[in-house]
Chain A
């Protein structure tokens, strides 16, 4: 009889652990959002990523519509290439959509912000975003500022 109680409690203990693990996987680490929705791929070239990493969010008007999936250096063009997955429901991104690398808050992480343009046609799976704005690098800004100051 006592053994039954012990078995029950230990079993519940292990179940609690598994539930905690599952919660961690889906609620906390967003594991599922990777696999669930349907997405299409867009690419963009940047001069300087300045801290943009994989899994960074891609948003338009502040709404997250995708994720950065790959980041690498193009050996031919000597620029950074970013691949991102955009949610299928956002299929009306115009051809002249622009992508900028922005910072969330003062210390925040980098993310990609998209702004639509005025063209009639839309970006499809595998297309390149042409209009890109690299991240603002503090040192370059200061350098430009000093240069301007020195001139006039």
Chain B
């Protein structure tokens, strides 16, 4: 291929990417509202929250605990150089609530629940279940996609909060039980520095945004996939890659906005 051909191929991929984004936006637009013949209902929402939320609990809780412990350990080594071990509680909780909680939860979610969503929907496409729905006069978007989108949106902030909570207690375990930091110092300083509206609520806002983006990407990749086993495999990989990058990029944007005027 000549250099010119390479440029063309690159441009074509850019155009394809923009087309994908367009299809994805249309998908989001048509699936956000409930209702229509044969569409999903509240019990379907519950089922999906179970599938993406409850089933992700084990990995989120375990990961959260370990991350909290590592933060406690590493934080201690760094802070003790400055004689500021008392600030450990503050450090662990702020790091988790503002950043690590929402971001790590989103990344883990993308890997576990996101890829499962993509595979499930891709398989439905490959076995012609989506076509069958169309032929029966039922909109597959409303039946299959809508409950999954909303379930991800709801489950993610809950998971992120649980991650942060478990992490803070993990940090406490390391700090107080292992490193001998005063329990009062850990929690007291934390309470003094963590503001509910500035830190907790903003963390929740971040995780809601991440929830929407990750679930949207996962669902679209499945819906748009080539209906073969290769195609589904490729789609699952893309879900994880694209959502991870999107989460990290959005995190920067959101953090900049939240920390005040960029």
Contacts and interface: CB of A to CB of B under 8 A. Distances in A.
A and B: partners?
Answer: yes
Interface of A: 3, 6-7, 9-10, 12-14, 16-17, 20-21, 23-25, 27-31, 33, 55, 57, 64, 104-109
Interface residues of B, number: 34
A28 B194 CA distance: 7
B82 A30 contact: no
Given A6-B47, A105-B87, A107-B84, A28 B190 contact: yes
12 contacts: A6-B46, A9-B54, A14-B158, A16-B162, A20-B162, A21-B200, A28-B200, A29-B194, A29-B195, A55-B195, A106-B82, A106-B83
Nearest to B47: A6
B55 to A, nearest CB: 9
Nearest to B46: A10
Nearest to B79: A107
A40 to B, nearest CB: 20
B147 to A, nearest CB: 12
Nearest to A6: B50
B200 A13 contact: no
A23 B200 CA distance: 11
B82 A107 contact: yes
Contacts of B196: 24-25, 29, 31
Of all A-B residue pairs in the complex, the 3 with the closest CB atoms, nearest first, are A30-B191, A17-B158, A29-B194
Nearest to A54: B195
A104 B90 CA distance: 14
A29 to B, nearest CB: 4
A108 B91 CA distance: 12
A105 B193 CA distance: 15
Interface string B163-174: 011001000000
A103 to B, nearest CB: 11
Contacts of A28: 93, 97, 168, 190-191, 194, 200
Given A16-B158, A104-B86, A105-B87, A10 B165 contact: no
Given A3-B43, A105-B87, A107-B82, A24 B158 contact: no
Most chain B CB inside 10 Å of its own CB: which residue of A12, A21, A23, A33: A21
Contacts of B47: 6
Contacts of A10: 46, 49-50, 53-54
Nearest to B194: A29
B56 to A, nearest CB: 10
